[in-house]
Structure 1
Amino acid sequence: MPHRFDFLVMGGGVAGLSFALQAARHGTVAVLTKRERGEGNTAYAQGGIAGVLSPTDTFDAHIDDTLVAGAGLCHRDAVEVTVREGPARLKELVALGAAFDQRGGEFDLTREGGHSARRIIHAGDITGREVQRALLAACDEQPNITFFQNTAAIDLILDRRPHTPAGSRCLGVYALMEDGSIDRFLSKVTVVATGGAGKVYLYTSNPDVATGDGVAMAYRAGARVANMEFYQFHPTCLFHPEAKSFLISEALRGEGGKLRLKGGQTFMDRYHPMKDLAPRDVVARAIDAELKRTGNDCVYLDMTHLGRAYLTERFPNIYATCKAFNIDMAVQPIPVVPAAHYQCGGVVTDLHGRTNIPGLYAIGEASCTGLHGANRLASNSLLEGLVFGHRAVQVASEELASLTLPKEDPPAWDSGSAVDSDESVVVTHNWDEIRRLMWNYVGIVRTDKRLMRARRRLELLREEIRDYYWRFKVTRDVIELRNIAEVAHLIVDCASRRKESRGLHYTLDYPHTDEHQGTRDTILSREL
């Protein structure tokens, strides 16, 4: 028998948990997490959450900073609601027990790249972990919330009956359970809160779960997807063969860190008037250019002038992690390189998380509200999850009473003639090839020729993956491979359509912005 809930949330990060916590006041909620609950991008967020909490700061300043970082592509209405509603959501988070650093009885606000003021609240350098802890603890007190861990959604279930009002409606998902069975989860409201897709690239700050599952599923179901060409590369990840792209927070530059070349020379003054505090796209391209110019493997982030006592107090986790790799940031600069970090595009929604498919919502990094435009401003991501998790519940709870599930259950999963695979090497090989070709051809700097090569190879890989998917029984590895191939295709398709350079999309063939053609979103749909 299918699992039945009023609300179904895919993803257990800040957006999904914020939604679940509010939705539990109105009905039953299922939260599906692909690994153990709490394992996702939110838990790895270091820097903090942006919000206007100081009397010397203003909403207008935060809005302007976001618009500038977004390079002309932000939707102002999305920016306005996020910035103006942000402080209330932060106060609610504090009321749930989230503990942020304070100084003299006030929040210890810091500054990050692209911000004109100190407006970032933080919990040391493990802010995401503290946010996740507080939200999970609050969810545990709600009897209406049920977690399904190690449960991987495969595809959305749609009601495609001709008499269905407004066309297809989302009824829930098919999901691979921990024991290998495939169950149906049916719901009146289905929410994609699956986060980003950093694992589509060879080098990423994201954990292994970030494979773009929600975007891929929604696109296959007919949802509109936009602006996937804008993938943010964090400028500073630890460069060490054993570090697995450990993120070095932008807050280090906010507190005075200096980027240097191998010989000790600074270089950001040649790229932007804000120097080391320039927006992330500028810093990442600058580092990429310097590495190509010098032939060096990395650049260095110098914090040595700030002293050991300050560094161990302000950045205890980063200090300890670097020390574990024999890097003492108090006396030696940290070797860093850019890595794929944040998906600025996603499933197109309105300002309450609604997609073009009735019954389907998308929030957080998996969505595209227009907040981030062509480049996300630092520390606006956790803020987005809080704000839109709350806004989505406002509408979804109102719609709940008028929504019913069909009297007949949708068909159970049919494995057909699929058998257990004896060719798992196909999965690992294709996984590695997709990530490498995306890094080499669709990375920080692009060209039409590189994109064409990526498109041709992806077409062959996607065909191989489709054949494998239908011939063999579904596993989590196959689900993730299928989804990163879909997301890679969307990124390449969007990048190929944008004939200009803007924000995170920089192409040598069109190095200038096109103010007449370029301020439109790049929207894809299987039906367009």
Structure 2
Amino acid sequence: MTKRITFDGPVILGAGLAGLSAALAAKMALVLSPTPLATGCSSAWAQGGMAAALSGEDTPALHAADTIAAGAGLCDPKAVELLTREGPQAVRDLAALGAPFDRKAPKDGESDGFVLSLEAAHSKARVARVGGDGAGAAIMAAVIASVRATPTIEIRENARARRLLQDKTGRVIGVLAEIDGALVEIRSPAVILATGGVGGLYAVTTTPAQVRGEGLGLAALAGATIADPEFVQFHPTAIDIGRDPAPLATEALRGEGSILRNADGRAFMVDYHPAKELAPRDVVARALHAERAAGRGAFLDATEAVGAHFPHEFPAVFEACQSAGIDPRREMIPVTPAVHYHMGGVATDLDGRASLPGLYAAGECASTGVQGANRLASNSLLEAAVFGARAGRAAAAEGTHGGEPVSLEPLPDLPDAALQTLRKAMSRDAGVIRDAAGLTRLLAQIEALEPAYGPCPTIVAARLIVEAALARQESRGGHYRSDFPATAEPLRTFVTLESADAAVRYAAE
């Protein structure tokens, strides 16, 4: 018999920065984490830092303009304005919790003294970092300590959502969770999805294996509207040493002056974009893909830009390289594009509300419209903190528990062998460069999985990405169609699982 728990605050699925920011803002919450805290979430792996207008030379308006330019016409200006306006205080609040951002003596007119890095497509140095490339882990350590010190926040580790519970009106009334192997019915006034992105659906990714679109699939199967699922960001410089997931060579290395070269030592970015190494991520990713496809290889040369300073300026990158027998102080680092971030997700308003009553989403699994078609570097941790807190406050105000659940049946899991086959197919046909032939082949492969394994959230997430990619007959941001290389009218994708069976529905921003 399934155990039943009733909780008066929001239940939060996921314990990355978005989920824990929501919990702190809600003040009373139940957090379900599939892994021990600080593991299994992309937030803890983030290297670059948090982008915000923290210097006297910068403003939220400049940050907003850079975000909108990178988003390739699909950003929601209201969401971007909110993010960039609230961003500086979000960084200061995390610093107050104990996040050890790198500091220096502040200049006249400045009070913080944050060390700020320049990253691709930013017009100003505005990325606050920790220990060069350790921002995510350090920020998460501070937030976790604060959460653990809050007695009204309950944490259940080794807990996975197996279904969103809904009453006969469609309202989300809780979650069916598997906790330490046992099914538990958890009833609550609101559920916040903070489950991360879709990297684990691809064979080459920089994200934890557990992050494979389950929140997106759970929401879609409940009937929620999904926005922009086709927009997947590929980080240009994953370290190509045959590891799954692939270690990341942070973009801050290129901000410091590192050069992308082919096997002959030629700096090739001059052929692709005037900004060269600091071009938008989608441009750099396609350049690396092209060089590798042509057999010329791709390497990041930081020997002069960083050199002997590697061990203390970029310790995570240095350790990853050393583990594979590479000394980045003297050798070039082999790199490859890898899935890094999902711009699409569960469609929400600016307070995290999804299209279903009682359901909220925050962080990478949500689509507020702030990231557009191509996320600006280091805006992800910022979005998690800002919109996670907003979702937590809004969800905490929900007062009703709703009716009885229509179904208590857990949704099926995709067996590992089938998942690995799907990952390879997604990288092959829904990767950096796409076309109708590959996407059609991939969609047929996904559709063949459904009768065998049922409505698995991972299969549903993959199908939504592929169907929307096939329907978007243009190239924009992270979505590049070799058979439709031109850019068309800037329309966002809004789709439900029911409407996706027929056609993807577009709506003007």
Class of the TM-score when normalised by the shorter of the 2 chains? over 0.9
> Match for residue 137 of structure 2?
129
> Match for residue 444 of structure 1?
432
Provide the rounded CA distance (Å) in 1 between the counterparts of 2:212 and 2:372: 22
Q: Tell whether the 8 Å contact from 1:497 to 1:522 is kept in structure 2 after alignment.
A: no
> Match for residue 315 of structure 1?
314
Q: Tell whether the 8 Å contact from 2:21 to 2:392 is kept in structure 1 after alignment.
A: no
Q: Do structure 1's residue 174 and structure 2's residue 176 form an aligned pair?
A: yes
> Match for residue 46 of structure 1?
47
Deviations 1:490-516 (A, max 9, x none): 10111011111111111111110013x
Provide the rounded CA distance (Å) in 1 between the counterparts of 2:336 and 2:261: 12
Shift of 1:141: 1.1
Provide the rounded CA distance (Å) in 2 between the counterparts of 1:377 and 1:84: 16
**Secondary structure of the equivalent of 1:171?**
strand
Taking the TM superposition and a 5 Å limit, the aligned residue runs for 1:9-158 are: 9-24=12-27, 28-39=28-39, 40-105=41-106, 106-124=113-131, 125-158=133-166
Shift of 1:447: 0.7
Provide the rounded CA distance (Å) in 1 between the counterparts of 2:449 and 2:275: 42
Q: Tell whether the 8 Å contact from 2:171 to 2:402 is kept in structure 1 after alignment.
A: no
Q: Do structure 1's residue 276 and structure 2's residue 277 form an aligned pair?
A: yes
Q: Do structure 1's residue 362 and structure 2's residue 361 form an aligned pair?
A: yes
**Secondary structure of the equivalent of 1:355?**
coil
Deviations 1:264-323 (A, max 9, x none): 001111111111001110000011111112x24x41100111354422221122112211
Q: Given the superposition, is the C-alpha separation of residues 414 and 86 from structure 1 closer, same or farther in structure 2, using an over 3 Å criterion?
A: closer
Q: Tell whether the 8 Å contact from 1:500 to 1:513 is kept in structure 2 after alignment.
A: yes
Q: Given the superposition, is the C-alpha separation of residues 264 and 355 from structure 1 closer, same or farther in structure 2, using an over 3 Å criterion?
A: same
Q: Tell whether the 8 Å contact from 2:45 to 2:137 is kept in structure 1 after alignment.
A: yes
Provide the rounded CA distance (Å) in 1 between the counterparts of 2:54 and 2:410: 54
Provide the rounded CA distance (Å) in 2 between the counterparts of 1:359 and 1:456: 34
Q: Given the superposition, is the C-alpha separation of residues 62 and 307 from structure 1 closer, same or farther in structure 2, using an over 3 Å criterion?
A: closer
Give unmatched runs, 5+ long, in structure 1: 161-166, 419-423, 470-481
**Secondary structure of the equivalent of 1:2?**
strand
Q: Given the superposition, is the C-alpha separation of residues 414 and 118 from structure 1 closer, same or farther in structure 2, using an over 3 Å criterion?
A: closer
Shift of 1:435: 0.7
Q: Tell whether the 8 Å contact from 1:16 to 1:363 is kept in structure 2 after alignment.
A: yes
> Match for residue 493 of structure 2?
522
Deviations 1:101-135 (A, max 9, x none): 11225111001111111000011211100111011
Q: Tell whether the 8 Å contact from 2:302 to 2:329 is kept in structure 1 after alignment.
A: yes
Q: Given the superposition, is the C-alpha separation of residues 7 and 458 from structure 1 closer, same or farther in structure 2, using an over 3 Å criterion?
A: same
Deviations 1:405-442 (A, max 9, x none): 44xx54784589x9xxxxx9x82331121111111111
Provide the rounded CA distance (Å) in 1 between the counterparts of 2:146 and 2:276: 41
Q: Tell whether the 8 Å contact from 1:198 to 1:341 is kept in structure 2 after alignment.
A: yes
Provide the rounded CA distance (Å) in 1 between the counterparts of 2:78 and 2:32: 31
Q: Given the superposition, is the C-alpha separation of residues 246 and 307 from structure 1 closer, same or farther in structure 2, using an over 3 Å criterion?
A: closer
> Match for residue 509 of structure 1?
483
TM-score normalized with structure 2 length: 0.93
Deviations 1:49-102 (A, max 9, x none): 000000001222111111111001111111000000111111111111111011
> Match for residue 332 of structure 1?
331
Deviations 1:370-411 (A, max 9, x none): 1111000000000001110122233333x33x42444xx547
> Match for residue 3 of structure 1?
5
> Match for residue 484 of structure 1?
458
Provide the rounded CA distance (Å) in 1 between the counterparts of 2:367 and 2:402: 27
Provide the rounded CA distance (Å) in 1 between the counterparts of 2:162 and 2:154: 19
Q: Tell whether the 8 Å contact from 1:190 to 1:359 is kept in structure 2 after alignment.
A: yes
**Secondary structure of the equivalent of 2:304?**
helix
Shift of 1:324: 2.0
Q: Tell whether the 8 Å contact from 2:24 to 2:389 is kept in structure 1 after alignment.
A: no
Provide the rounded CA distance (Å) in 2 between the counterparts of 1:483 and 1:63: 34
Q: Tell whether the 8 Å contact from 1:159 to 1:171 is kept in structure 2 after alignment.
A: yes
Q: Tell whether the 8 Å contact from 1:451 to 1:496 is kept in structure 2 after alignment.
A: yes
Provide the rounded CA distance (Å) in 2 between the counterparts of 1:358 and 1:254: 43
**Secondary structure of the equivalent of 1:107?**
coil
Q: Tell whether the 8 Å contact from 1:109 to 1:121 is kept in structure 2 after alignment.
A: yes
Q: Tell whether the 8 Å contact from 1:183 to 1:412 is kept in structure 2 after alignment.
A: no
Provide the rounded CA distance (Å) in 2 between the counterparts of 1:273 and 1:414: 55
Q: 2:400 aligns with which of 403, 406, 410?
A: 403
Q: Given the superposition, is the C-alpha separation of residues 218 and 237 from structure 1 closer, same or farther in structure 2, using an over 3 Å criterion?
A: same
Q: Which residue type is aligned with residue 166 of structure 2?
A: L
Q: Tell whether the 8 Å contact from 2:46 to 2:135 is kept in structure 1 after alignment.
A: yes
Provide the rounded CA distance (Å) in 2 between the counterparts of 1:450 and 1:325: 33
Shift of 1:522: 1.1
Taking the TM superposition and a 5 Å limit, the aligned residue runs for 1:428-467 are: 428-466=416-454
> Match for residue 347 of structure 1?
346
Question: What is the aligned-residue RMSD (CA, Å)?
Answer: 1.8
Provide the rounded CA distance (Å) in 2 between the counterparts of 1:214 and 1:315: 32
Percent of pairs with identical residues = 41
Q: Tell whether the 8 Å contact from 2:25 to 2:390 is kept in structure 1 after alignment.
A: no
Q: Given the superposition, is the C-alpha separation of residues 378 and 415 from structure 1 closer, same or farther in structure 2, using an over 3 Å criterion?
A: closer
Shift of 1:244: 4.0
Give unmatched runs, 5+ long, in structure 2: 107-112, 500-509
Shift of 1:336: 0.5
Q: Tell whether the 8 Å contact from 1:184 to 1:412 is kept in structure 2 after alignment.
A: no
TM-score normalized with structure 1 length: 0.89
Provide the rounded CA distance (Å) in 1 between the counterparts of 2:449 and 2:498: 23
Provide the rounded CA distance (Å) in 2 between the counterparts of 1:277 and 1:217: 37
Shift of 1:527: 4.0
> Match for residue 507 of structure 2?
none
